């Protein structure tokens, strides 16, 4: 039993105060003070400290020369003691539980600034400036500081301490934080719900501050920052209890009160006796005016309103000013459609609309028509991540947001770790993270198509990758759509990810148009009612596709030409991983591939959306440094695989694979995927090799596909649609001619050539391929035996019909040698 837990002489445990009284008090000028581990690592608070000299054991924990901090409540009464040493979890004496108060340095004055910190290094640094400073005693308070945003339990402990101080009468409570953290929803709610105000550590005042509250920061500069940050902080008017916004005085001297119970009209009248009477009339459920918004061209002005529906879901709506004019029926309809019923009585309706239209504006927003990157900020339908340079951005679009959250982040990571051994699944998940990197890294949009037999798991893994952003069912889309409909989907997913399932459900023409649209990043040009061009929709994204057929096979069914542009934009991968398990490379759950697939579906349907939130938070906390790291990883991947590419076409596809690998690796480094470091690089590299091997040495893709097309045609129909020129006779000498259905041409076994007329070459063999280009490629590669300057020549002898026409001659030897 440790001496801290040993009973006193009367048999009772020692009190927290007794523990403190038995320690050694070290002063800043003492050598032992300067050499103490915590002072060496985190700097000096320039305050006396309590140290229990020697080896201290509490339960199974051992502390060497621990620092002891008195823990006090809002009345500054000593209630517990914190025991700390470097790189160990804090111990709260006497019960080892959580802190019921806080530690502090300096003089605590109720109407003077008190700085809130949550790490020992920041606590010591602020103390050295002379400010009163409080330490929220989180478990890792004496471990190395990682500067990450607080979450969950940590924020609740901060809120607990702030409320203790506020209830005790302290009115000036401040917590320095990084700018990207201050914009997080959790931080915004903490500031709204408590007396705490955040101080931007990177604020631009009399100069540009970059304060981390580390031991290396200059004491005088930290004090200058605190002085200026507190002095320039906007003042907040404290509303009376129950009020959601300032009262609004109307033209007739009546007053609207915006209360948490509703919107009320307050009228005062004087009766015949001179007494003032007040009437209170309910107008509607509570609704507040946040401000007004306009686009980047300062057009399309809107009112920004906020309210909760009957399910307590918070709606933030942008009501165009043009809808408020006249009877304002459009404005009322928008509000009603989102769950707040406007008043029906004429007089109340007028009051309601006067409030919507005339309430004083204190804040302006900039509205944007699509999601994605805006400088260092990333806009989603319901939230903006990152730095918006002082002006909040609001998404203004009637499209439904496909993204949502359910379950837990830990539950989603079970899914992520389950798919880790399977390269195609890692590619799919990494692709879902890659959309946010397309524009910053200047990579063109593009996609991947996983093809193979049904029930092999390809749809399972690609739909599961949608769980990064939300419920896989609404996030994943079907190919059974039009290019116009998909254009709208692409805009709502700008700088993000799109999954398309079952290629064969779309018409060949639609598939071709959609691939060019998604990869090019531009929608159709359209005219408005006045005949002027509307703004063309633009977007950047990465997309995955699945289907039982390859792209060229599907296009051939629609008699469409196949060109290299489609193949470059739409990298195709077989779903067979080569282990007889479909897309899976091992059975890492259950005993069958179906068990793995079922478990993936189960986890994806239960836990979704959390990884996307974590990813956007990670990217926007310090976008510049993240993108610099991404560029380095991109160069590393390209450098590793570039020697295998021999032309610009394969190099373009390599950059897309590299982008996906980088996204997966960054998500791993951000502790999102739970994968081993380097796994994304290995898996995506494996998929790139598979893709490249399907094109041999990586020569011109368009030529390769044309040669493959004709080779496949002749191998498929060589014995069924080509009549052999070998003469077969009956016993009486009569020539026997075989019956050929849908004949294309002839086969000369002596010359080993296939003979096709120019007409049938065009109509039958060039389906989906440009005839002129096909002839050039065939001749260039020696597949045609022809006269100089032509693509055909006269047949050597007469054909069975007695003619000797010009025909295209295919050299069978060259065709057979193609694979070699």
At residue 556, the 3 state secondary structure works out as: helix
Same domain? For 218 and 269 the reply is no
User: Sheet holding 262-270: strands in order across?
Assistant: 248-249, 255-259, 262-270, 276-284
453: its two tokens: 């037999």
Q: Which residue has the higher pLDDT, 396 or 270?
A: 396
Region 289-298: mean pLDDT is: 90
Tell me, what's the pLDDT at 820? 54
Same domain? For 499 and 471 the reply is yes
Tell me, what's the pLDDT at 219? 94
Mean pLDDT of all residues in the chain? 88
Q: For the chain, how many residues are written?
A: 820
What stretches of 2-58 show up as alpha helix (H) in DSSP? 16-21, 31-35, 37-42
Q: Which of 165-169, 272-276, 642-646 has the lowest mean pLDDT?
A: 272-276
Nearest-10 crossing angle of helices 458-465, 409-419: 150
Task: Please report whether residue 684 resides in a domain.
Answer: no
Same domain? For 353 and 502 the reply is no
CA dihedral 697, 699, 703, 708 (to 10 degrees): 10
**Position 105 pLDDT exceeds 60:** yes
Tell me, what's the pLDDT at 753? 96
DSSP state of 276: E
114: its two tokens: 């008190």
Tell me, what's the pLDDT at 277? 78
**Containing structural domain, residue 598:** 409-621
Q: With pLDDT > 70 as the criterion, what percentage of the chain qualifies? A: 93
CB 433 within 8 A of CB 663: yes
Banded model confidence at residue 730, pLDDT cuts 50, 70, 90: confident
Please give the Cα distance from 758 to 751 (Å, whole number). 20
What predicted TM-score, i.e. pTM, was given to this entire model? 0.63
**Position 390 pLDDT exceeds 70:** no
Same domain? For 223 and 268 the reply is no
Region 213-238: mean pLDDT is: 89
Contacts with 220 (C-beta within 8 Å, 6 or more apart), sequence order? none
**Position 731 pLDDT exceeds 80:** no
396: its two tokens: 């203004």
Same domain? For 314 and 456 the reply is no
Task: Please report whether residue 177 resides in a domain.
Answer: yes
Region 512-537: mean pLDDT is: 73
Please give the Cα distance from 228 to 74 (Å, whole number). 27
Banded model confidence at residue 524, pLDDT cuts 50, 70, 90: low
**Position 650 pLDDT exceeds 90:** no
Q: Which residue has the higher pLDDT, 284 or 622?
A: 284
Number of domains in the chain: 4
Same domain? For 463 and 594 the reply is yes
Task: Please report whether residue 683 resides in a domain.
Answer: no
Task: Please report whether residue 635 resides in a domain.
Answer: no
Task: Please report whether residue 670 resides in a domain.
Answer: no
**Position 195 pLDDT exceeds 90:** no
Task: Please report whether residue 649 resides in a domain.
Answer: no
Task: Please report whether residue 2 resides in a domain.
Answer: no
Tell me, what's the pLDDT at 6? 36
Tens-place pLDDT, residues 2-38:
444 433 333 445 778 888 888 999 999 999 999 999 9
Banded model confidence at residue 699, pLDDT cuts 50, 70, 90: low
Same domain? For 182 and 254 the reply is no
Contacts with 758 (C-beta within 8 Å, 6 or more apart), sequence order? 792, 806, 807, 808
157: its two tokens: 């402990």
Tens-place pLDDT, residues 735-753:
778 888 899 999 999 999 9
**Domain final position from 311, 345, 368:** 368
Please give the Cα distance from 266 to 255 (Å, whole number). 5
Tell me, what's the pLDDT at 770? 85
**Domain final position from 208, 232, 256:** 232
Same domain? For 266 and 294 the reply is yes
Region 716-723: mean pLDDT is: 90
CB 369 within 8 A of CB 397: yes
Burial of residue 121, with CB atoms counted within 10 A of its CB: 0-12 exposed, 13-18 middle, 19 or more buried? buried
Banded model confidence at residue 237, pLDDT cuts 50, 70, 90: low
Question: What is the helix, strand, coil percentage profile of the chain, to 5?
Answer: 35, 20, 40
**Position 303 pLDDT exceeds 90:** yes
Tell me, what's the pLDDT at 402? 79
Same domain? For 195 and 288 the reply is no
What DSSP assignment string belongs to 714-748?
HHHHTTTTEEE---EE-TTSPEE----TT--EEEE
Tell me, what's the pLDDT at 54? 87
Please give the Cα distance from 300 to 239 (Å, whole number). 32
526: its two tokens: 């359209």
**Domain final position from 318, 350, 368:** 368
Query: Could you tell me which of 697, 745, 709, 695 has the C-alpha nearest to residue 725?
Result: 745
Tell me, what's the pLDDT at 4? 44
Same domain? For 430 and 569 the reply is yes
Task: Please report whether residue 755 resides in a domain.
Answer: yes
Q: In whole angstroms, how far apart are CA 110 and each of 76, 194, 432, 719?
A: 12, 16, 51, 97
Please give the Cα distance from 96 to 5 (Å, whole number). 11
Same domain? For 187 and 280 the reply is no
Banded model confidence at residue 301, pLDDT cuts 50, 70, 90: very high
What is the CA 471 to chain-centroid distance, rounded?
A: 14
- CATH assignment at residue 442: 3.40.50
Banded model confidence at residue 573, pLDDT cuts 50, 70, 90: very high
Same domain? For 218 and 304 the reply is no
Tell me, what's the pLDDT at 93? 85
Please give the Cα distance from 457 to 455 (Å, whole number). 6
Tell me, what's the pLDDT at 3? 45
């Amino acid at each position: 039993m440790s001496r801290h837990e040993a009973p006193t002489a009367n048999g009772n445990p020692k009190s927290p105060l007794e523990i403190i009284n038995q320690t050694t008090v070290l002063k800043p000028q003492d050598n032992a003070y300067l050499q103490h581990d915590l002072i060496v690592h985190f700097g000096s608070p320039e305050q006396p400290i309590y140290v229990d000299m020697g080896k201290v054991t509490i339960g199974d924990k051992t502390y060497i020369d621990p620092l002891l901090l008195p823990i006090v409540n809002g009345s500054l009464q000593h209630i517990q003691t914190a025991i700390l040493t470097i790189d160990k979890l804090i111990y709260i004496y006497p019960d080892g539980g959580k802190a019921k108060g806080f530690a502090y340095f300096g003089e605590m004055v109720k109407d003077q600034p008190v700085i809130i910190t949550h790490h020992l290094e920041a606590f010591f640094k602020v103390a050295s400036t002379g400010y009163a400073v409080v330490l929220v005693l989180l478990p890792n308070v004496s471990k190395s500081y990682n500067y990450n945003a607080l979450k969950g339990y940590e924020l609740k402990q901060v809120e607990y301490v702030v409320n203790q101080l506020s209830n005790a009468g302290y009115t000036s409570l401040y917590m320095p934080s990084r700018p990207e953290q201050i914009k997080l929803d959790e931080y915004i709610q903490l500031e709204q719900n408590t007396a705490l105000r955040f101080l931007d550590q990177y604020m631009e005042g009399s100069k540009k501050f970059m304060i981390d509250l580390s031991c290396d920061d200059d004491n005088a500069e930290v004090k200058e920052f605190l002085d200026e940050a507190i002095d320039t902080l906007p003042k907040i008017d404290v509303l009376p209890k129950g009020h959601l916004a300032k009262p609004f005085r109307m033209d007739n001297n009546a007053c609207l009160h915006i209360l948490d119970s509703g919107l009320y009209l307050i009228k005062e009248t004087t009766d015949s006796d001179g007494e003032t009477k007040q009437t209170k009339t309910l107008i509607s459920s509570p609704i507040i005016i946040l401000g007004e918004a306009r686009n980047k061209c300062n057009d399309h002005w809107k009112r920004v309103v906020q309210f909760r529906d009957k399910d307590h879901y918070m709606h933030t709506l942008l009501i165009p000013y043009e809808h408020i004019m006249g009877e304002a029926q459009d404005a009322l309809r928008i509000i009603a459609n989102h769950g707040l019923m406007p008043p029906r009585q004429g007089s109340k309706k007028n009051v309601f609309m006067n409030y919507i239209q005339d309430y004083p504006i204190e804040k302006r927003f900039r509205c944007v028509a699509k999601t994605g990157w805006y400088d260092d900020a990333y806009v989603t339908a319901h939230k903006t991540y990152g730095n918006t340079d002082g002006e909040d951005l609001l998404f203004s679009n009637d499209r439904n947001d496909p993204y949502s959250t359910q379950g837990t982040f830990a539950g989603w990571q079970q899914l992520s770790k389950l798919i880790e051994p399977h390269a195609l699944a890692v590619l799919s998940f990494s692709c879902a993270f890659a959309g946010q990197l397309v524009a910053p890294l200047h990579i063109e949009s593009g996609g991947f198509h996983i093809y193979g037999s049904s029930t092999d798991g390809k749809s399972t893994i690609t739909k599961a990758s949608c769980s990064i952003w939300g419920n896989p069912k609404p996030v994943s889309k079907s190919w059974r759509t039009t290019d116009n409909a998909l254009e709208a989907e692409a805009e709502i997913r700008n700088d993000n990810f799109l999954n398309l399932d079952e290629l064969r459900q779309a018409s060949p023409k639609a598939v071709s148009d959609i691939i060019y649209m998604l990869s090019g990043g531009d929608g159709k040009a359209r005219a408005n009612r006045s005949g002027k061009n509307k703004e063309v929709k633009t977007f950047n994204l990465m997309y995955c596709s699945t289907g039982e057929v390859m792209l060229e096979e599907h296009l051939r069914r629609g008699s469409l030409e196949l060109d290299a542009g489609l193949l470059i934009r739409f990298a195709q991968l077989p779903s067979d991983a080569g282990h007889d398990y479909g897309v899976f490379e091992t059975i890492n759950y259950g005993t069958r591939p179906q068990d793995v697939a079922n478990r993936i579906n189960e986890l994806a349907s239960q836990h979704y959306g959390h990884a996307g939130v974590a990813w956007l938070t990670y990217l926007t906390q310090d976008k510049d440094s993240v993108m610099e790291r991404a560029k380095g990883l991109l160069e590393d991947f390209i450098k590793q695989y570039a020697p295998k590419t021999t032309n610009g076409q394969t190099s373009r596809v390599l950059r897309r694979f590299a982008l996906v690998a980088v996204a997966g690796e960054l998500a791993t480094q951000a502790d999102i995927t739970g994968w081993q470091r380097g796994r994304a690089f290995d898996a995506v590299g494996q998929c790139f090799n598979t893709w490249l091997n399907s094109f041999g040495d990586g020569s011109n893709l368009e030529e390769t596909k044309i040669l493959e097309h004709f080779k496949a045609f002749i191998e498929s129909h060589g014995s069924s649609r080509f009549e052999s020129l070998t003469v077969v006779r009956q016993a009486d000498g009569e020539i026997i001619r075989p019956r050929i259905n849908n004949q294309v041409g002839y086969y000369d076994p002596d010359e080993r050539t296939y003979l096709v007329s120019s007409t049938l070459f065009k109509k039958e063999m060039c389906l989906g391929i440009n005839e002129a280009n096909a002839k050039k490629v065939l001749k260039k590669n020696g597949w045609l035996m022809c006269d100089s300057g032509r693509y055909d020549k006269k047949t050597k002898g007469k054909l069975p019909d007695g003619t000797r026409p010009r025909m295209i001659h295919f050299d069978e030897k060259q065709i057979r040698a193609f694979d070699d």
